[in-house]
Amino acid sequence: MKERRKVLVTGGAGFIGSHVVRQFVRDEKYYVVNLDKLTYAGNLENLKDVEGKANYKFVKGDICDPDLVQKIFADHDFDGVIHLAAESHVDRSISEPLEFVKTNVLGTMTLLEAAKNLWSQEGRRFYHVSTDEVYGSLGEDGLFTEKTSYDPKSPYSASKASSDHFVRAYGNTYGLPFIISNCSNNYGPNHFPEKLIPLLINNIKNERPLPIYGKGENVRDWLFVEDHATAIKLIYEKGRIGGTYNIGGLNEWRNIDLVEFLCDLMDIKLGREKGASRTLITFVKDRAGHDMRYAIDATKLNKELGWSPSLKFEEGLEKTVDWYLENEEWLKDVTSGEYMNYYEKHYSHSDK
């Protein structure tokens, strides 16, 4: 058998990372090393089905640790890196902005330094997985394209924009072969229930209030996580070096419409009376600096590489709800202990 292509995935125990790791491990031509610190958002339960595979290795560690990162690079001679490790929740970035600078900026720099110093750059690729939030906030019309100027507005998006800039700067200055993609909001299995959709599913299940910031008029473009992972694999394999690709679902929802739709779906799934879950909707104090609307133009990715989302939102959401209802233990584990402290702290002050 030909030697496998070695790829370093960072943040592979998180929500999107675990789906990316699974897709690569399934493809026998890869050998995947997953470097993850296992923060509150990382969970080895997400990777049960790849554990023990011959073409997979997990390393617990911090991307901000230069000695560890350099050792991993020296040990493996990777063909490429897919960098997903990050602090990813906007609300946490508002209360703990420095943590975001540490992991998202310094962590990315630590990886870039290792790639610059230890790689011969020929034939390699450093793929940075980023967000559409770097583009700022849209009004009622328009879409983010790859040419939209950066205008990040939260500490989270500012840290991701900064790391995107450093990746491009290493390309321009040191010739590092890089690719960046900027994706819209993901949803699906293994999503930590601090983000809107899994938080709502968990609260509906437990008949707890559904906290909606402001008037619920903010708009997000939702993409099923498996479709994002498929796009990442395609871009890693076929994307142009030095290129940027926007990834999105062509699937805009106002938060309030989404929560009502989800309530109705879960009433059916849980055998509750129609309208029962909607009574849990509670409008709470708005998020500071809350971006109004995100929406992606993914034409370039579609035209260059033929990617488009495979699932309609209604199908994806049903799959997601089914997964959470079938994986009670997973949900119980991640919502015990520290999660409840976060929840109480964050939502107890959020009455209007």
For ligand NAD, the binding residues (CB under 6 A) are: 10-11, 13-17, 36-39, 41-42, 62-64, 84-88, 103, 107, 129, 131, 160, 183, 185-186, 192
Is residue 132 part of the annotated active site? The answer reads yes
CA angle (184, 139, 292) in 5-degree steps: 60
Residue nearest to ligand NAD (CB): 14
DSSP 144: B
Packing angle, helices 15-26 and 225-238, rounded to 10? 60
Which of 36, 62, 133, 164 is catalytic? The answer is: 133
Say which entry of ligand TYD, ligand NAD, none residue 159 contacts (CB below 5 to 8 A, set by partner kind). Answer: none
Please select the residue that binds ligand TYD; options are 255, 277, 320, 335, rule is CB under 6 A: 255
Q: Which two tokens stand for residue 80?
A: 């490429």
132: its two tokens? 């559409």
Pick one of ligand NAD, ligand TYD, none as the site partner of residue 227 (Cβ within 5 to 8 A by kind): none
The residues, any chain, with a CB within 8 Å of residue 55's CB and separated by 6 or more, are 4, 25, 28, 30, 31, 32
Contact with ligand TYD (CB under 6 A) among 30, 100, 127, 213? 213
- The dihedral through the CA atoms of 205, 290, 188, 167 has a sign that is negative
Q: Per-residue string for binding with ligand TYD, 166-205, x by CB under 6 A?
A: -------------------x---------xx--x------
The least distance separating ligand NAD from the CB of residue 87, rounded to whole angstroms, comes to 6
Stretch that binds ligand TYD, among 34-42, 213-221, 226-234, 307-315 (CB under 6 A): 213-221
In angstroms, give the least distance from the CB of 246 to ligand TYD: 16
Quick one: which of 222, 202, 318 has its CA closest to 265?
A: 318
Residues 76-95 that bind ligand TYD (CB under 6 A): 90
Going by the DSSP 8-state scheme, the letter that residue 4 receives in this structure is P
Phi and psi dihedrals of 284, rounded to 5? -125, 175
Measured from the CB of residue 200, what is the shortest distance to ligand TYD in angstroms? 8
The phi and psi torsions of 152 (rounded to 5 degrees) equal -65, 145
**Which of the residues 156, 170, 187, 236 is marked catalytic?**
156
Binding-site partner at residue 189 among ligand NAD, ligand TYD, none, CB < 5 to 8 Å by type: none
Q: Name the minimum Å distance from CB 195 to ligand TYD.
A: 3
Q: For 38, list phi and psi in degrees, rounded to 5.
A: 55, 60
> Judged by CB, which is closer to ligand TYD: 10, or 255?
255
**Exposed e or buried b per residue across 178-204, where buried means at least 16 C-beta atoms within 10 angstroms of its C-beta:** bbbbbbbbbbbbbbbbbbbbbbbbbbb
Rg (CA), the chain: 20
- Which lies closer to ligand NAD via its Cβ, residue 43 or residue 203? 43
Q: Which is closer to ligand TYD, CB of 128 or CB of 195?
A: 195
Given ligand NAD, ligand TYD, none, residue 186, with its beta carbon under 5 to 8 Å by kind, binds ligand NAD
Instruction: Tell me if 146 sits within 8 A of 246, measured CB to CB.
Output: yes
Cβ distance to ligand NAD smaller for residue 20 or 259 = 20
Asked if 75 is an active-site residue, the reply is no
Smallest gap, in angstroms, from Cβ of residue 82 to ligand TYD? 21
- Spell out the long-range contacts of 94-97 with Cβ–Cβ below 8 A and sequence spacing 24 or more: 94/154, 94/155, 94/287, 94/288, 94/289, 95/346, 97/155, 97/159
Pairing between β-strand 281-284 and β-strand 210-213 as defined by DSSP bridges: parallel
156 is catalytic: yes
For 271, the 3-state DSSP assignment is: coil
Shortest Cβ 201–ligand NAD spacing (Å): 15
Residues classed as catalytic:
132-133, 156
Residues in contact with ligand TYD by the rule CB under 6 A: 90, 185, 195-196, 199, 211-213, 218, 220, 255, 287
